[in-house]
Amino acid sequence: MPGCENFTILLKRKTKLQEEIMSVYKVIEIVGTSAESWEDAATKAVERASQTLEDLRIAEVVSQDLKIDGGKVTAYRTKLSLSFKFREA
């Protein structure tokens, strides 16, 4: 029937949108460290978290600080709030 393809596509999009709206996400805090920069610390934290967590969604920088030793910056630390899709066991 002509036009049915468009209806099927719209129905699939609506179903996917409903799944996104009804999804539940867990939020955790993680801290990454780097000798290079705060950005590198954040990147390392997300990359490490992605090894054990699935479906990561958003990372928000909560705070940044420095480790100082002998008057010199020795490490950059970035604390992130990280969300991922929650799945029932």
Q: Is residue 33 part of a domain?
A: yes
- For residues 45 and 63, the answer to whether their CB atoms sit within 8 Å is no
| pLDDT reported for residue 24 | 82
Residues facing residue 9 across a β-bridge = none
What average pLDDT score do residues 32-46 get?
Answer: 97
What average pLDDT score do residues 64-69 get?
Answer: 97
Scored b (16 or more CB within 10 A) or e, 58-78 reads ebeeeeeeeeeeeeeeeebbb
| pLDDT reported for residue 8 | 56
pLDDT surpasses 60 at 3: no
Sequence-ordered strand ranges (E) for 1-89: 25-34, 56-69, 72-85
What average pLDDT score do residues 82-89 get?
Answer: 81
- Residue 61 belongs to domain spanning: 24-85
Q: Is residue 5 part of a domain?
A: no
pLDDT surpasses 60 at 76: yes
Tell me the CATH number at 76: 3.30.1660.10
| pLDDT reported for residue 4 | 55
Q: Which residues contact 29 (CB under 8 A, 6 or more apart)?
A: 62, 79, 80, 81, 82
